[in-house]
Structure 1
């Protein structure tokens, strides 16, 4: 999308026109997310006011749909927030490679979102937050959003990515809700589901009188209200949170039994040093409803780190026992336009606590966080799973077999590329590569390691398939792809128009030379309430309920092995199977979608001697079956 803004990118266009149109060595450059860095999370599109949900081994980030707004002469004007009627969603299992799940068309008033808006009463959808709650044995998801600054709406879904529906047909919270009197801006919701399953919604902001120093210091415009058991109703009256210098951006998380309410402090008047303007402050309480006590601040305004300031919005979350904060900054727009103009992009950095429970100052930067798990290139991977890119865009795809609201990579020109970080090809390496593509023009995908001009390990020629949504799976041989590498898919072609669209990719592995042992699941002991054998999609086992399992007895002479499990989910949801050895969980396999894939846990440490090996379903949302084919281990 960004590369096509010709009126503003004339200098960039001239630069690219000087590059060769036939050589991958003329590979184009990323905008702001440089290979090796993890921030911003994406630079092929924008996203503001981020909120993070962790679920089934993935982090889902939900964002206001920042998008460039144009003057009548075609130039980009300062962000006026008029385009924020959708929610952008991305997710990652490793914190570097993010899958683009497209946009949720939330607002539907006055034919918003071309008539596809879900909440027909809402004209905007600002600053989302999302929670998961298990209700009647099924995982349910709840998305809260601001209809501008006039109220809070809620959507519901059975998965983190939709489809979503509007259960109320109206706002959940308005200024007429008990306890909401005195709130200037009723927006920026944050949701917490406590350990006992009770939900709480935090929201509010604004300064009733920004010329009165006393009101600036204590606006009293933050609120918390208890949600009903269904998460789509409220219980009782809202309670005021007396947040000093409150401006906007409610946040909530729980750490060591304490509740941390965080928010962006206002910009008006003169602030004491303890309450720096435009920074994220926080308060602590022993109760989710308060009272809260101010404890300090932990995230400076993004201008302190990246040059362009503006508003500050954040969410604190825990993933794999590490705390993080997701926030926005004008890094992509600033790199692209020379000035941020108020258009924002998501970032993540680590967050740390002191021994006394106070939060250390977060260091915002472009380096971001390290990749926490290698990507398995032998699994089907959506092309819109992107670590880094140059020149491309994404769009809703008509290709079958992908996740809900499946996307594809589009607007592909010569020299453009997408890349993923830390793909582990193993010692035996890859022998072939396949991709699902659609094209009128055609071109090639060069597969390169570690950089856009790195070692060429294979080339897939893409012919015309008869249309940009006429999909065809093509394959080619691959050589010299072993070990762990960044993988760059560099697109080449002689046409000046878009070359082709790219839906998914997958490598196949050379036969392993290691001493591998395979155990068929149908030969194991299968148990649990609904565990059983199946003959489709393969001969194996099927597991539905919590604690369904397959087990066998094994003697291990060595304490470290690599385990691979082949399986599939019954639909687009993600199914989880834990590997237990002698009752200890040593890793988890995750299967998304109905296409069987092989998931691998490398260098797993475990007990030796005679042990019980068990595959066990440990989460059950009641909407999917888990099909498992075989377990294989290698030394």
Structure 2
């Protein structure tokens, strides 16, 4: 957990709070991830050596557990990597709002992780990688990690967030594994499950002799292993990857039938221009076991982008048909300490393959990538799902009903806040919002749109619940929350101490119905034109025109009404499609407007295209539509 700012800044804040004209409820400032930016992925804690796993519409990022290490006088010392005995996990469905799943207590040797360590033989857990595979009809998950530089272990689970177990009770790969002799640093695993279900593990690093130019240029310390069908055993002998100027950080991805092995180029000696020190180079092969041919480099050292360098660690992945690279940089520690001191945080930027298979140089930045999907505010959202924040932390929670290893937001003080990006309230908007809270002090949660000082749409009053883990659900009315907005939960209260904890939040939609005028429905395949008679609406021609728009549905069943008319005495049939699926038809006879209603119509939830199509006109030239209404 990242601590609050120094005592000096705390005292300064107290002094300023007493000055005339300064609101005691002024929202605090974010640390490193600024609203609108997507990098770093989180700034309420640290995380290094990231690896991405995509599973069922979510990206899971697994990281080494960087934490600040302190001198005896309370100052932060240079990172000595001593806390790296856990693995941090976050996940996102949209690349902006990341759910904190906490830390997996991996290492268990010598009472590591206070005796809760899973791998009792391991004292450290560095640079994780993860994969899943369907075995006996069930998806199984595999988490590979380095026990320092001495070997690779594996944990297994039935979900990407655990709970995890150690199936072997020992390391999977050591120096005695066939083919691993000569590896200086046996760490930094990367895993690939190929299209045929075969698993491959890549690892290694180091320079056998840094004073020997030949050893620097061709360390020959990278390896690839074929895994057994169970993903927890090794099949055959490791194969050497002759990665020029290899340092560390194995990476692997498959694109267009080719296998891309990538790694961090070393810092030793003098390099030719095509092997720049501290950057990510890559090699390509037609086989997952190689041989690989060096092609170039695609990610510069973090210093180039952020003014603070250190080692370079990455993973390439595909999400929703877009390629990305996740990497670390010392941006959070620099923002908090004024310098990085070796403490790292995860970032993501887009990655592009050229037509010839080469990779373009990635442009690292704080802007990151745009949100790929809107967030649904009408389902339970964990409070630890955070786009941006100011001042908070997360901790293990005793609240019921959450995910595996549920967390809650804590360390909440006056002016702190959390926020999510692009929540879609739909055209009907929200009616209420509720939150699960625990408190010994109490305070308020101001619900604001688009910024911490944006429009106030509701206020939740938090009363003491009897303890910091004694949970109570509270609710309040909401006014003015419609459409797509960032949502800020701004915490206010008296005093300088912690106010309360927050477990989750959820809005409920207005249920009085949604009415949409047909003349505003202009999404794709537009209608023939607008009309003023027999009402203000649109005209549809048979089998060629449609009136369509996007509607957010929190519920899957509605009564749906359409007001319309035929252009003659004959009957016009207008079909209704939701999300591309025909759900019913409306029949309008004669030129006098009528309202036709379909009751109990089932359809998909979330953002859906709603389309009205004149499928057949039964001899008429056209049909007229006034509006559509959902109840």
Q: State the TM-score, normalizing by the size of structure 1.
A: 0.83
Q: Residue in 1 aligned with 2:609? A: 604
Q: 1:246-275 CA distances to partner (integer Å, 9 max, x unpaired)?
A: 000000000000000000000000011000
Q: Residue in 1 aligned with 2:227? A: 227
- Give 1:205 deviation, angstroms: 0.1
Contact 1:46 1:66 in 2 (8 A): yes
List aligned pairs for 1:87-98, cutoff 5 A: 87-98=87-98
Q: Distance in 1 between matches of 2:40 and 2:18?
A: 29
- Give 1:301 deviation, angstroms: 0.3
Q: Residue in 2 aligned with 1:345? A: 345
Q: Residue in 2 aligned with 1:104? A: 104
Q: 1:583-635 CA distances to partner (integer Å, 9 max, x unpaired)?
A: xxxxxxxxxxxxxxx98332437896789xxxxxxxxxxxxxxxxxxxx9969
**Residues 201 and 605 (structure 1 numbering): CA distance in 2 closer, same or farther, change over 3 Å?**
farther
Q: Residue in 1 aligned with 2:376? A: 376
Q: 1:29-78 CA distances to partner (integer Å, 9 max, x unpaired)?
A: 11100000000000000000000000010000000000000111111100
Contact 1:447 1:490 in 2 (8 A): yes
SS at match of 1:291: coil
User: Are residue 421 (structure 1) and residue 426 (structure 2) matched?
Assistant: no
Contact 2:204 2:221 in 1 (8 A): yes
- Give 1:562 deviation, angstroms: 3.7
SS at match of 1:229: coil
List aligned pairs for 1:147-162, cutoff 5 A: 147-162=147-162
List aligned pairs for 1:57-96, cutoff 5 A: 57-96=57-96
Q: 1:184-229 CA distances to partner (integer Å, 9 max, x unpaired)?
A: 0000000000000000000000000000001100000000000000
SS at match of 1:415: coil
Range 18-27 or range 99-108, more displaced = 18-27
Q: Distance in 2 between matches of 1:181 and 1:155?
A: 24
Flag structure 2 segments of 5+ consecutive residues without an equivalent.
517-544, 557-577, 583-602, 617-627
Q: 1:461-480 CA distances to partner (integer Å, 9 max, x unpaired)?
A: 10000000000000011111
Contact 1:458 1:476 in 2 (8 A): yes
Q: Residue in 2 aligned with 1:594? A: none
User: Are residue 508 (structure 1) and residue 544 (structure 2) matched?
Assistant: no
Contact 1:262 1:282 in 2 (8 A): yes
**Residues 150 and 439 (structure 1 numbering): CA distance in 2 closer, same or farther, change over 3 Å?**
same
Contact 2:427 2:552 in 1 (8 A): no
Contact 1:86 1:103 in 2 (8 A): yes
User: Are residue 294 (structure 1) and residue 294 (structure 2) matched?
Assistant: yes
Q: Distance in 1 between matches of 2:416 and 2:604?
A: 30
Q: Residue in 1 aligned with 2:218? A: 218
Contact 1:379 1:599 in 2 (8 A): no
User: Are residue 406 (structure 1) and residue 411 (structure 2) matched?
Assistant: no
Contact 1:107 1:124 in 2 (8 A): yes
**Residues 289 and 608 (structure 1 numbering): CA distance in 2 closer, same or farther, change over 3 Å?**
farther
Q: Distance in 2 between matches of 1:222 and 1:245?
A: 11
Contact 2:17 2:24 in 1 (8 A): no
Q: Distance in 1 between matches of 2:324 and 2:180?
A: 31
Q: Residue in 1 aligned with 2:16? A: 18
Q: Distance in 2 between matches of 1:442 and 1:150?
A: 49
SS at match of 1:214: helix
- Give 1:11 deviation, angstroms: 3.0
Contact 1:25 1:453 in 2 (8 A): no
User: Are residue 195 (structure 1) and residue 195 (structure 2) matched?
Assistant: yes
Contact 1:441 1:495 in 2 (8 A): no
List aligned pairs for 1:20-59, cutoff 5 A: 23=23, 26-59=26-59
User: Are residue 396 (structure 1) and residue 396 (structure 2) matched?
Assistant: yes
SS at match of 2:298: strand
**Residues 209 and 12 (structure 1 numbering): CA distance in 2 closer, same or farther, change over 3 Å?**
farther
Contact 1:561 1:602 in 2 (8 A): yes
- Give 1:15 deviation, angstroms: 3.7
**Residues 42 and 217 (structure 1 numbering): CA distance in 2 closer, same or farther, change over 3 Å?**
same
SS at match of 1:376: coil
Flag structure 1 segments of 5+ consecutive residues without an equivalent.
517-555, 568-577, 583-597, 612-631
**Residues 237 and 633 (structure 1 numbering): CA distance in 2 closer, same or farther, change over 3 Å?**
farther
- Give 1:558 deviation, angstroms: 5.1
SS at match of 1:114: helix
Q: Distance in 2 between matches of 1:156 and 1:579?
A: 38
Contact 1:412 1:500 in 2 (8 A): yes
Q: Residue in 1 aligned with 2:439? A: 439
**Residues 467 and 439 (structure 1 numbering): CA distance in 2 closer, same or farther, change over 3 Å?**
same
Greater RCO (Cα-Cα under 8 Å, separation 6 or more) = 1
**Residues 214 and 39 (structure 1 numbering): CA distance in 2 closer, same or farther, change over 3 Å?**
same
Q: Residue in 1 aligned with 2:129? A: 129
Q: Distance in 1 between matches of 2:469 and 2:510?
A: 32
- Give 1:4 deviation, angstroms: 2.8
- Give 1:564 deviation, angstroms: 3.8
SS at match of 1:2: coil
Q: Residue in 2 aligned with 1:243? A: 243
Contact 1:281 1:298 in 2 (8 A): yes
Q: CA RMSD in A?
A: 2.4
- Give 1:12 deviation, angstroms: 5.7
Contact 2:60 2:92 in 1 (8 A): yes
Q: Distance in 2 between matches of 1:264 and 1:497?
A: 45
SS at match of 1:68: coil
Q: State the TM-score, normalizing by the size of structure 2.
A: 0.84
Q: Distance in 2 between matches of 1:265 and 1:49?
A: 15
